[in-house]
Structure 1
């Protein structure tokens, strides 16, 4: 019997060049000798013989090509039927499978519409690889975007990584490709083989929407069902909106999962997500932190990138376990009352060949023009925020972490690089916007869309911007022209404060404006005060090592610095190791130096951080009004000669206040006169020079204020101010 196909079609199916396999393979009605017949075609390169099983009957297919194309024309059947294929391989025993080409599309019109519009906020619900049962057959449904591809196939061990076997169906209007492959189950490794009109051989890409990835240096995606975890954080989730409100205490412990603590004597030595949770949660609970912030947890190929050069945006890195293990980590934090924030990186992505770059042979996710699409500083690609594929991909990704992993906040990295087209570029290396300006209009719109989408979908989730310029309205609502973030990292405060504290105390009197300048703009945004990972790497030294003087002065300066941070308006963040005085710079390839806690001074510093967290949570004056002048009042900023400043922090009830006095010299000040709002007894909530923290224990334990105006206050105190120390006072009830 002659074939119902032309030689050209047989050749294109056999060599893998045919771009519409669903029009050829599977069951089709055809005209044979003027009569309508039902024909079955299948491509199985491993088959020596191929038989169709329909009910109890078997039909042996005719081989049309040496590569493995088979066909059978039913004599009497005209309507489609269910069938299976019995494969007799060249080697091994025969086996029976269901054929991928007998299944219709599983994508509904609503998802196609949202994807085509670029307004899909939960694209992960149908994109990627989803285990499903169709007509009683277990398999996996695959969907990927590759609008410029001429052919896309799913490849894996289930088809000997042969791109001719499972070629996908294309939705031309949306640029999507789809296939349901029977018998591909959870745990199977896969990639997409993408043939382009201009490139040969085909590209081999990981799934942009993969939920799980092979451990580096492997780069395959892994079929994963992430729906089965049983959460125990109902109480946290129900109260999260109130817990994370701006008038609540927020104290963030920033950490890198791979180097916080490691196993001893094991390779690679990482604690997994569950082991980390079991050790970290009680540690943070004891220290009184309200939140933990994780450097990026999405899959990335290169450890020294710290996770900031991502290839798998939807996959928690397999370095530390499976997605369910990361869910356990978040769950345990929540059950202990600790919020989980993650660093999210929409500004750029890794150029690794298996990743997003040139995904379908074109700049699908990135700009083709290197003046827009290349980050020279980091050797990465920049997303094209104007493309619908990018909007769907990134907005859905932000929502995904909140949805599937109960993440409480997203800190967006490198926002400044997104806002400015000329970021870190010389003249001639960037392209102005349509109005001739340097603002990246598409990125601005994207950031507003991101914040609106996250807040709409998950009202209790908070967003943070690492934005290092004076861009206005970063933490203002989008309907007032702002970017819509809840908080902005105060990089100016961080730089000025560290520049000041690193100076020898003898010179600080000439630079006191570096401390006081921050209050000029402190309430222009909702600020986070960050001493982050970026400040303790690349020859910047650890927080403790930055400090001038001998060991005693170094510890005293750090205690003073932290007291200043916790009492300055704004929420606060400290990178791991800073809480106990790590001497060495942070490195991603080793554990923190936990042995230092054998020394009293390091234990004392850790105790100070614990007590500051406790005071911050207990005293409303230190957290209720962080973003308004009504919560702050200078007492004295004029005593530069003694490098002493003092100020009042107030709660919503202005009669509920604390007085903060900071001495940035190693000189004890006796009988120092400071104005206070009213007379009476004052208690010492905190003295960073206390012997409990490793200090000299200078200072007063009993403080009485007398009427008499001073520093524009109605009363005053005379106090002994300890050296290189901060003191927090409060009127006794």
Structure 2
């Protein structure tokens, strides 16, 4: 076998060649087994077409099936039979599959779309009512009790065929939560998001929407990360067709939609989830010590099939254009990543190889279904090969979230004064990533906005945001905060990766953290919403940040800057806090300091003429309009470019 390309590019991996080859061989052995017994990986991922409710056109009726290999008895119950726990027993078949057939002639008027259902399972853990594992819809009553729902036939009319043939070359991602996307102190809806928020996102210039908290979860305050029903869109925000309406509308206006998919763990609730589903661990193999949740047993073929089918289901039933896989680090390691990764050997120790195989299978499957899919790994370990092809010893993701970047900014703002910022360290932190593995850069996501932390804007301006955001007011703290907010987002977006992400509201410096209703805040929705009116108020300075974000996204799109791989550090001045670098045909100059410089010299390699194409000091962005953007700057005899570089300002020059 030829040496893997990933090792050719990174000789430090030579000592781990056997482990990388094992990844390939174990994956291929698993895939061979699947193809032998299921025909294709695509057929393997059709469990949702077997389990729960599926219509039999030939026999005219609905089959209901469930995988419960250790159950003693199983009954289908619901409002169709007045919740009778004995009238509709399921029959045990092969491989622990239980089933019952409900013919139209008898149940057409009893089992109707919207009927609430459960299964009654008698097993070693007692006699319990459970929500079916593959149920496609749920309901929640006023006491927060959940049921499964019989959806009937899917009759939604899609009009997005043309969009689905397109590929998003550079994802510019707007991360959003449906429930908190409203300014009202309530839970938002799929329909409202589609009609009111999607146009905002489009107007800002983003090309991709990433949706949190879609898979059903019993506790709203879990941000959607404690999933109970993996095939059901959360009923808090509306019906499944309302979600389809949202995605169809997004496609109509040119926005791709990514699902934040949770395959790293599951809620431990028995009433709503899958724990002890047949009286045994079944789907799971332990407990996550940090998340207080159940960990999937990726070694089991049926668990791999459940999760792979889940990916196919969301793609085919809801037309999602990609997935952000949550908690990948936890999946990859038996210690769940609860350690620091400082040495290469740590990437290859305590690895959960069954989880690696599942992620390889999942990425192979979704790219087979749609070659234009966007596959993102939320991984903080930096494991080599996550965004490389399976044949090269990788896991097959398209992008990795650059999770170290927001951590860097927040540590910097919390622990160091402006005078202590190191320009070389800043440049290295933003450019240090694995060769030929694409990253998604971001200064903050929902993680940084959660209660107990602060948004980037609040770190910079703190309580002054409540009293000094009127445009008529002068305030040096607000001036500094607005200036650095723009600079941090500009340098992160242009240096930190091959794609970019923003969490909703942060584009205009939303001032407050996210805190969902809970006992500790008297079940208030005050912090579980977005105050869009702040950016729309012409008297407030939030508009400045919104204007700049729109300009930033437009600049990235027009220049295709994130596709350029030739960034080069030109100047590092730690005394004056100035950093200059080039990327593509553009020159960037950042002055993070408090002193302005006239005729500041930037040493270039060759002669040229430059003109400013973006300045953070423009008045519409809350700047002081100190820059003459009509000037053409020409290099001197020694190839120095002399520029005026005001304090706390970033300038982008385009070579003429």
User: What interval of TM-score do these two structures reach, taking the shorter chain for normalisation?
Assistant: 0.7 to 0.9
SS at 2:587's partner residue? strand
Q: Which structure carries more strand by proportion? A: 1
**CA distance in 2 between partners of 1:532 and 1:523 (Å):** 24
2:502 match: secondary structure? strand
Q: Does the 8 Å contact 1:115/1:392 carry over to 2?
A: no
Maintained 8 Å contact 2:163/2:251: yes
| Partners of 2:257 and 2:362 in 1: CA distance | 19
Farther off after superposition, 611-620 or 226-235: 226-235
Aligned to 2:125: 199
Give the whole-Å Cα distance in 1 for the aligned partners of 2:485 and 2:358: 39
2:358 matches 1:464: no
Within a 5 Å distance, the mapping from 1:147-158 to structure 2 comes to: 147-158=69-80
TM superposition score normalised by structure 1:
0.75
In 1: Cα distance, 2:82 partner to 2:38 partner: 35
In 2, the alpha carbon distance for the partners of 1:416 and 1:686 equals: 38
Residue in 2 aligned with 1:257?
178
Q: Quick one: distance in 2 between partners of 1:162 and 1:708?
A: 91
The 10-residue stretch of structure 1 (219-228 or 509-518) with the greater mean CA deviation from structure 2: 509-518
**Aligned 1:75-474 pairs, distance under 5 A:** 114=38, 120-132=44-56, 135=59, 139-172=61-94, 174-182=95-103, 183=107, 184-196=111-123, 198-200=124-126, 202-215=127-140, 217-225=144-152, 227-239=154-166, 243-244=167-168, 248-263=169-184, 269-354=186-271, 355-367=273-285, 373-423=286-336, 437-474=349-386
Specify the SS of the correspondent of 2:225: coil
Distance of 2:544 and 2:260 partners within structure 1 = 30
CA distance in structure 1 between the aligned counterparts of 2:140 and 2:595, rounded to whole angstroms: 55
CA contact (8 A) 2:609 2:635 kept: no
* Residues 1:640 and 2:581 are matched in the alignment: no
SS at match of 2:647: coil
1:693 corresponds in structure 2 to: 621
**Alignment of 1:665 onto 2:593:** yes
Cα distance change on mapping 1:313 and 1:319 into 2, 3 Å: same
CA contact (8 A) 1:118 1:389 kept: no
Q: Does 1:703 align with 2:627?
A: no
How far apart are the structure 2 equivalents of 1:544 and 1:718? 32
Match among 436, 441, 459 for residue 529 of structure 1: 441
User: Structure 1: how far apart are the matches of 2:541 and 2:627?
Assistant: 19
Instruction: Give, in whole Å, the separation in 1 of the partners of 2:302 and 2:152.
Output: 24
**Cα distance in 1 between the residues matched to 2:277 and 2:40:** 18
Alignment partner of 1:624 out of 563, 579, 582: 563
For 1:56, the equivalent position in structure 2 comes to none
Q: Is this contact kept in 2: 1:646–1:659, CA < 8 A?
A: yes
Say which SS state the counterpart of residue 76 (structure 2) adopts: strand
CA drift at 1:364: 0.7
The higher radius of gyration belongs to 1
Cα shift at 1:115: 11
What secondary structure is seen at the aligned counterpart in 2 of 1:220?
strand
Contact 2:183/2:532, CA 8 A, preserved across alignment: no
Residues 298 and 315, structure 1, Cα contact 8 Å, conserved in 2: yes
Partner of 2:29: none
Per the alignment, do residues 135 and 518 of structure 1 end up closer, same or farther by CA in structure 2, a change over 3 Å counting?
closer
Whether the 8 Å contact between 1:262 and 1:270 is mirrored in structure 2 is no
Question: Any conservation in 1 of the 2:183–2:531 contact (CA below 8 Å)?
Answer: no
In 1, are the aligned partners of 2:233 and 2:240 still within 8 Å (CA)?
Answer: yes
Q: State the distance in 1 between where 2:235 and 2:221 align.
A: 16
CA distance in 2, matches of 1:238, 1:424: 37
Count of residue pairs the alignment pairs up: 578
Report the secondary structure of 2:120's partner residue: strand
2:654 corresponds in structure 1 to 730
State the 1:181 CA deviation. Answer: 1.8
Please state how far the C-alpha of 1:510 moved relative to its aligned partner. Answer: 4.6
CA contact (8 A) 1:418 1:443 kept: yes
For residue 539 of structure 1, what is the aligned residue in structure 2?
A: 452
SS of the aligned residue for 1:550 comes to: helix
The aligned residue for residue 483 of structure 2 is: 556
- Give the direction of change, closer, same or farther, for the CA distance of 1:504–1:290 in structure 2 (3 Å limit): same
Give the conservation status (yes or no) of the 8 Å contact 2:449–2:455. Answer: yes
Task: Give the structure 2 partner of residue 3 of structure 1.
Answer: none
Residue-by-residue CA offset, 1:653-707 (whole Å, 9 max, x unaligned)? xxxx111111112322221111345444422211112111011222342131225
Displacement after TM superposition at 1:594 (Å): 2.3
Residues 178 and 123 of structure 1: CA distance in aligned 2, closer, same or farther (over 3 Å): same
Structure 2: gaps spanning 5 or more residues = 1-33, 340-347, 462-475, 517-524
CA contact (8 A) 2:423 2:579 kept: no
Kindly state the Cα deviation for residue 299 of structure 1 after the two structures are TM-superposed.
0.7
Separation of aligned partners in 1, 2:156 and 2:489:
39
- SS of the aligned residue for 1:521 comes to coil
Question: RCO higher in 1 or 2 (8 Å CA, sep ≥ 6)?
Answer: 2
- CA distance change for structure 1 residues 563 and 135 in 2, over 3 Å: closer, same or farther? closer
Show structure 1 runs of 5+ residues with no match: 1-109, 368-372, 427-435, 651-656, 710-714
Shift in CA distance, 361/563, structure 1 to aligned 2, threshold 3 Å:
same
Match of 1:446, SS state, is: helix
Indicate how the Cα distance of structure 1 residues 252 and 691 shifts in structure 2: closer, same or farther if over 3 A, else same.
same
* C-alpha contact 2:635 2:642 (8 A) present in aligned 1: no
More displaced stretch, 149-158 vs 225-234? 225-234
